[in-house]
Structure 1
Amino acid sequence: MTATARQEPRDRARPRAPWRPRLPVLLALLVGLAGVGYRLALLLADAPPTNSDEATMGLAALHIARGEEFPIWFYGQAYMGTLEAYLAAPLVALTGPSVLALRLPTLALYALFLALSWRLTRRLGGDPWFALLVIGFLALGSDRVVKNQLIAGGGYPEMNPAGVALALLTVALCANGAGRRLPRWAAWALVSGLMLWVDPLLLPYILGTGTVLVVWRRRELAGRAGLVVAGALLLGAAPMLVDSLRHGRNPLAAVLTASGGEATASWGERLYGGLVLGPPLGMGFCSPSHCATWQLWWALAFPVLLLLAILSAWRILRAARGSTADFEALPVARNGDGPRPGGAAVGDDQRVSAAVRLALLAGAAAVLAAYVVSSAAGRTPVESSRYLSCLAVAAPALLWPLWRAARRRSGVLRVVAPAVLAAILGTAAVATVEAIRTVPATHAEAERHRALVDALVELGVRHVRGGYWTCNRLTYATGENVVCAVVDDELRPGFDRLPAYRRTVAAEPDAAWVAPVGSPLAARLDQRLGPEPGAFDVVTVANWRVYLPRP
C-alpha cells in the first residue's frame, strides 16, 4: 500500500504579505498629525493668547502640585470643575508654572478627540473616506476653535473628547451582546459624572446617549449594569456632590446665572447672536473676533443640515425591522468596519448607528437652543460662542447626509453636496489661515509680558495692584513670587478670585501698581505722578507702566 502524502493548503506555504494601512487610514493619520502639529506650533509661539482666567486655573494647578490646596471649583465661583488643573499639576510640579505646562494636557485631549472621532465615524457606518473628511474638518482650527481646544480656562478642552467617548461607548454597548460590558458601562457613567462636575454644557449629549442606552439595554440596566452605572456616575460627580452637600450650593443655578440668565437682552439680539453668529463662530468658520458677511453662510446651512440629518436618522429607525428587544441578545461585533460572521445583522447595525446619530443631533440642537435663549448670546456673542464648542461632537452625524448625497450616481444632489462639502472645508481653511496671521502679534504681546515679569524681579517688587486681566496672570507667571490684588479703573478694590492675595498686598505699604500703557487705569495713575508725598515714580517697560511709591 502506498501512503498518500498529505497536501498542505497552498496559502499556508506562502509567507503572508506585511500589513499595509489602507490609503484613507494613512491619510487620516497624516491629517490628524498635521492638526496636532499645527496646534503644537501655536503653543510654542504663545498662541492663542493667555489671560488671567487661564492663569487662575494655573494657580489651582500650582497649589495642587505643592500639596497646598485641592480646589473643587474654579477659584471665585461655585461651578466649573478644576479637572484641567489636576491634569496639569504634574507638569507644573516638574517644570514650574508656565502656559505651556497648562496646555500640553489640553493638546493631548485634542489628539484624543481626533482619534475617538475617527473611531466613532467608522462605528456609525461611515466608510474610511468619510472618516477622513471628518478628521480633515476637525484638524482645521479657527481662532475661536483653537481657543476652546487649547486654553485651560475651564471645561472646554475636555468636552469634545468626552462627548465622542460617550457616543462611542453607547454604540459598543448597544451593538454588542457580550464582552467587556461592565467596564464599558462604568466608563460611560464615569465620563458622564466627571462632565457634570466639570461643565454641564455637555448634559444634552449625556441625556441623548443615555436615552439610547435605556431604550436598547433596559433589561441589562435592571441588573448589575445599573448598579455599576449608579456607582460610577456618583464617583465621577463626587466633587460636585460633596461640595453641594457641605455648602448647600447649586452649581446648575450658578451656571445659568453666569450664562446671562439674570441679565437682559432682547430676543432680536439673542436670535442674531445665537443663530446667525453662533454656529459660524462656534464651529470654526469665522475670522478672529468677528465674522465677515460671506462667512455667515454656515448660519443658513447648519439648521438645514441638522434637520436633514435628523430626518435621515429617524427614517432609518422607523424603516429597520425588529424591535429594540432584539438587541438584548446580539453577539459581539469586534469592530465598526461592518458586520462579522456571528455578529449583528446589517439592519441592526444601521439602526444602532441611526439611534446614536439621532442622539448626537438632538444634543447639538439642544446645545444651540440653550445658547439662543441665554442673554449671553445677545450681550457678548463673539466671546460667548465658546458655549457652542461641543457642536463639533456631532460632526460625524451632521455631515453624513451630505456624504451620502455626494456619492449618488445621478441627480442634483450629486453636484450640490460635494460643493457644500468643499465650501465647508474651504471656509474653515480660510478662517484657519486668518488665525495664523494673528500669531506674530500674540507672540509679541507674550514677550512684553515676560519683560514685565523680569523688570519686577530686577526692581525687587513683590506686591502690586493691577487690573483683573493683569493680576492672576502676573501672579501665576512668577509662581506667586509677585502677588497682585485687583483694582478697577478708579483705584477701588476689584474682584479677587483669591481673597488672600488682597490681604497680602494690603499688608504691604510700599506695594507697586501695574497697568498697560494707554489703559484707563494708567491714565488714572498718571495723575498721581509728581514730587509731592504719596506720589509715584514710574518705570515704563515694554508697553507696561510700573508705578512705584516714593519712599
Structure 2
Amino acid sequence: MAIATGVLDPPTGPPARQRRRLRVDLLLLLLLVGSVVARLPALVNARGVNSDAAVVGLQAMHILHGEWSWFLWGAGYQASFDAALVAAGFAVTGPSALTLMAVPLIGHLILVGLVYDVLRRVVGRGSAAVACLPLVLAPQSINGVALYAPRQWSITVAVLAVWLAARAGGRSAPLWLMGSGFVAGFAVYLDLFTLQMMPAIGVFALWCAVGVPRRVWAVGALLLGAAAGVAVIAWSRAQPVADGAKAGLTLERIGGNWTLMVDQCLPYLFGVKVFVQDPVTLAHVPWPAPWPVQVIQGAAALGFLAAVCWATVAVVRRIGPAPVRRLGALGLLGSAASIGGFLVSTMPADLLSARYLAPIIWLAPFTLVPAAYAVGTRRFAVAIAPFVVAVAIGGWYAYAPYVHDGVPVRDPRGVAQDEVVLADALRAEGVHYAAAQYWLAYRLTFLFDEDPVVIPLAEADDRYRPYRDGFAAAPVVAYVFHPSEPRAQWETEAARLDAEGTAYRREEIAGFTVLVVRR
C-alpha cells in the first residue's frame, strides 16, 4: 500500500522533482521562520535572562578560560553540553544575552527540522508541516526550554535518536539503529529529564529494527548501540558532582499531583486556560479569555483528544501502515510516561510544573500522524487548527511582561538598562561582590560580566562555590533587592544586620534597594 500519493509514487520527470524540492524547502523554511517570529517577544528582550540560564552563560565564560566540568554547575542531573555550545557562541560574539538565547533556539530549530523530516516520509510534506505547528506556535513549557538554557539540546538529541531509527532501511539499517541506541543514551547523560522519553523511543527503535531485512542484525546493532549509551549514563552517574535539587518518586503524591495536573498544568499546556504573571506578586492569574477564544479552547481540547483516541485505535487495531502506527505509538507511549512520571514525582508544585509534561507537546506531531494519514492534509489542518490557535494564544500571552495587550514590547527588565546603572554604581562604591535573591543573583552576575559577582542570599541556592568564597573575603559587599523579586525584602536583611550590630548604608539606585556594608 502506498503511504501517500507523491511520497512513494512521485511524479516523474526532472521538472516535477525540482518543484517537489522547492516545496520541501519552502515548507520547512516557513516552519523555521515561524519558530523564530513566534518567539520575538523574548528575543527582543534577551537581557531579561533568568538565573538558571545565566548559570549556563557564566559556566560558558569560564570554559573559555580553561575551566571545565562534565556537569552544569550545581546540577548533577544535567551535563555541561549546553554550556560548551554557548562557549562556542561566545568565542564568536563575546558574552551576550542574545547569543545565550540563540544557542538553545538553534537546538529547537534543528528539532523541528528532524521531526518534519521523519513525518514527511510517512504522511507527506503538507501533513508533516501541519503536525509540526504545535512546536512552532508553542506553549510556555516549550518556549521556556527553546529560549532559556539548559535542556533544549538534550531534547533535540532525544529526537535525533528517533530520526536515526526512522531512517533505518536496507543494508545500512544496523548502522542507523546502532547510532539511535547510542544517541538515546547520550541524551539521558545530557539531562536525566529525557529518561521519561526513553521507553517510547526504545519501543519505536525496536519496532523499526524488526521491520527491516536482516532483522536479527538490526536488533543486535540497536542493542549494541543502546549498551554503549547505557555505559555513558553509568559513567556519568559515577562522577563526583555537586548535585542540585533531587527528584523522587512516591505513590503518596498521586492525589495532589492529579489535581494540579488536571486543574492547571494540562489546561495551561494545551492552551485551554491562559495564565499571565502578576508583576507585583509574581503569581500566575487566569487571563479572562473572550468568548470566541473560549470556543476555540473548547474545540482545541476536543480535537486533540479525538486525535489521541484515533491514534490509540489505529495502534491497537493495526489500522494503517506500520510506519504510521509506529509514530502514533511513539507519541502515545511518550505522553503516557510523562503523565505517569508527573503523578508520582515529588517535583510538581505549581502551575509552572507543566514543564514536566512538556514531552506531550514535543511528541505531539507523532501522536497526530495516524489522524493526518486517515483524513488527509486539508481535513487534518481544519481539525487541528483550534488546538494550534489555542496553544499559540496561551504561549504568546505567557511572554508577559514582554507582551502588553497582545502586542510585543521592549520591557525595562528585558533590555536591562537599570541593571547597567546599578553595576556602575556598585563598582564606584568598590563593591565587587554582592548578594541577592536567587532569581536576581546569577542574572545580575551574568549581566555584570562578573563584576560585581552577585551570590544568592541563601547558601543552599549556590551553584558555584568560589563565588561565595569571594564574597566572604571581600572588604566591601552589598545586598541588592528589587520589586520584581518580592520573595526577598530589604527590610528583612536590614533587621538581620541590625541584630548583628553590622553597620550599613541604604541606597536607592535605578529602582534597586542596595545595602552597602564595609567590613
Q: 1:297 to 1:47 in 2, by over 3 A?
A: farther
The answer on whether the counterparts of 1:48 and 1:442 sit within 8 Å (CA) in structure 2 is no
Q: Distance in 1 between matches of 2:81 and 2:143?
A: 19
* Superposed displacement of residue 305, structure 1: 3.4
Q: Any gaps of 5 or more consecutive residues in structure 2?
A: 1-12, 277-283, 404-408
The answer on whether the counterparts of 1:47 and 1:443 sit within 8 Å (CA) in structure 2 is no
Q: Distance in 2 between matches of 1:241 and 1:305?
A: 38
Q: Counterpart of 2:476 in 1: which secondary structure? A: coil
Q: Which of 330, 333, 349 is the equivalent residue of 1:362?
A: 333
The answer on whether the counterparts of 2:204 and 2:330 sit within 8 Å (CA) in structure 1 is yes
* Superposed displacement of residue 86, structure 1: 1.2
Amino acid at match of 1:90: A
Q: Which of 369, 377, 390 is the equivalent residue of 1:427?
A: 390
Q: Does 1:164 align with 2:159?
A: yes
Query: Please, what is the CA RMSD of the aligned residues?
Result: 3.7
For residue 183 of structure 2, what is the aligned residue in structure 1?
191
Q: Does 1:130 align with 2:100?
A: no
The answer on whether the counterparts of 1:264 and 1:375 sit within 8 Å (CA) in structure 2 is no
Q: Deviations over 1:494-516 (max 9, x none)?
A: 53221221111111232222111
* Superposed displacement of residue 207, structure 1: 2.5
Amino acid at match of 2:509: V
* Superposed displacement of residue 398, structure 1: 2.3
For residue 398 of structure 1, what is the aligned residue in structure 2?
367
* Superposed displacement of residue 17, structure 1: 8.1
Q: Distance in 2 between matches of 1:262 and 1:450?
A: 46
Q: Deviations over 1:279-329 (max 9, x none)?
A: 33335553444555845775666555323212212322xx68xxxxxxxxx
Q: Which of 426, 433, 437 is the equivalent residue of 1:463?
A: 433
* Superposed displacement of residue 358, structure 1: 1.1
Q: Counterpart of 2:75 in 1: which secondary structure? A: coil
Q: Distance in 2 between matches of 1:132 and 1:215?
A: 24
Q: Distance in 1 between matches of 2:109 and 2:250?
A: 37
Q: 1:299 to 1:136 in 2, by over 3 A?
A: closer
Q: Does 1:20 align with 2:22?
A: no
* Superposed displacement of residue 442, structure 1: 7.0
Q: Counterpart of 1:80 in 2: which secondary structure? A: strand
Amino acid at match of 2:54: A
* Superposed displacement of residue 210, structure 1: 2.4
Aligned pairs for 1:304-315 within 5 A? 304-315=306-317
Q: Distance in 2 between matches of 1:454 and 1:20?
A: 58
Q: Distance in 1 between matches of 2:218 and 2:140?
A: 46
Amino acid at match of 1:399: L
Q: 1:48 to 1:20 in 2, by over 3 A?
A: farther
Q: Which TM-score applies when normalising by structure 1?
A: 0.75
Amino acid at match of 1:245: A
Q: Does 1:475 align with 2:445?
A: yes
Q: Distance in 2 between matches of 1:542 and 1:64?
A: 32
Q: Which moved more, 1:104-113 or 1:291-300?
A: 291-300
Amino acid at match of 1:400: V
Q: Which moved more, 1:25-34 or 1:162-171?
A: 25-34
Q: Distance in 1 between matches of 2:16 and 2:383?
A: 40
Q: 1:497 to 1:280 in 2, by over 3 A?
A: same
Q: Counterpart of 1:376 in 2: which secondary structure? A: coil
* Superposed displacement of residue 163, structure 1: 3.6
Q: Deviations over 1:14-35 (max 9, x none)?
A: 9968923478646523531432
Amino acid at match of 1:386: R
Q: Which moved more, 1:418-427 or 1:287-296?
A: 287-296
The answer on whether the counterparts of 2:328 and 2:368 sit within 8 Å (CA) in structure 1 is no
Q: Which moved more, 1:42-51 or 1:500-509?
A: 42-51
Q: Counterpart of 1:78 in 2: which secondary structure? A: strand
Q: Which of 454, 465, 478 is the equivalent residue of 1:484?
A: 454
For residue 512 of structure 1, what is the aligned residue in structure 2?
478
The answer on whether the counterparts of 1:275 and 1:372 sit within 8 Å (CA) in structure 2 is no
Q: Deviations over 1:82-101 (max 9, x none)?
A: 22111111122333333222
* Superposed displacement of residue 49, structure 1: 4.2
Q: Distance in 1 between matches of 2:361 and 2:184?
A: 18
Q: Counterpart of 2:123 in 1: which secondary structure? A: coil
Q: Counterpart of 2:78 in 1: which secondary structure? A: coil
Q: 1:453 to 1:194 in 2, by over 3 A?
A: farther
Q: Distance in 1 between matches of 2:367 and 2:236?
A: 38
Amino acid at match of 2:449: G
The answer on whether the counterparts of 2:265 and 2:352 sit within 8 Å (CA) in structure 1 is no
* Superposed displacement of residue 463, structure 1: 1.2
For residue 258 of structure 1, what is the aligned residue in structure 2?
246
Amino acid at match of 2:260: G
Q: Any gaps of 5 or more consecutive residues in structure 1?
A: 1-13, 321-349
Aligned pairs for 1:70-469 within 5 A? 70-123=68-121, 125-152=122-149, 154-155=150-151, 157-173=152-168, 176-179=169-172, 181-215=173-207, 217=209, 223=217, 226=220, 230=224, 234=228, 238=232, 240-247=233-240, 258-259=246-247, 261=249, 265=253, 267-283=254-270, 286-288=274-276, 289=284, 294=294, 295=297, 302-316=304-318, 350-377=321-348, 379-380=349-350, 382-404=351-373, 406-407=375-376, 420-435=383-398, 438-439=401-402, 443-446=411-414, 447=416, 448-469=418-439
The answer on whether the counterparts of 1:28 and 1:136 sit within 8 Å (CA) in structure 2 is no
Q: 1:177 to 1:27 in 2, by over 3 A?
A: closer
Max Rg structure: 1
* Superposed displacement of residue 110, structure 1: 1.4
* Superposed displacement of residue 542, structure 1: 2.1
Q: 1:535 to 1:103 in 2, by over 3 A?
A: same
* Superposed displacement of residue 112, structure 1: 0.8
Q: Distance in 2 between matches of 1:214 and 1:232?
A: 11
Q: Counterpart of 1:61 in 2: which secondary structure? A: helix
Q: Distance in 2 between matches of 1:300 and 1:258?
A: 36
Q: Counterpart of 1:258 in 2: which secondary structure? A: coil
Q: Which TM-score applies when normalising by structure 2?
A: 0.80
Q: Distance in 2 between matches of 1:16 and 1:358?
A: 37
Amino acid at match of 2:464: L
Q: 1:528 to 1:77 in 2, by over 3 A?
A: closer
Q: Counterpart of 1:66 in 2: which secondary structure? A: coil
* Superposed displacement of residue 386, structure 1: 1.0
Q: Which of 492, 498, 501 is the equivalent residue of 1:524?
A: 492
The answer on whether the counterparts of 2:141 and 2:355 sit within 8 Å (CA) in structure 1 is yes
The answer on whether the counterparts of 1:474 and 1:484 sit within 8 Å (CA) in structure 2 is yes
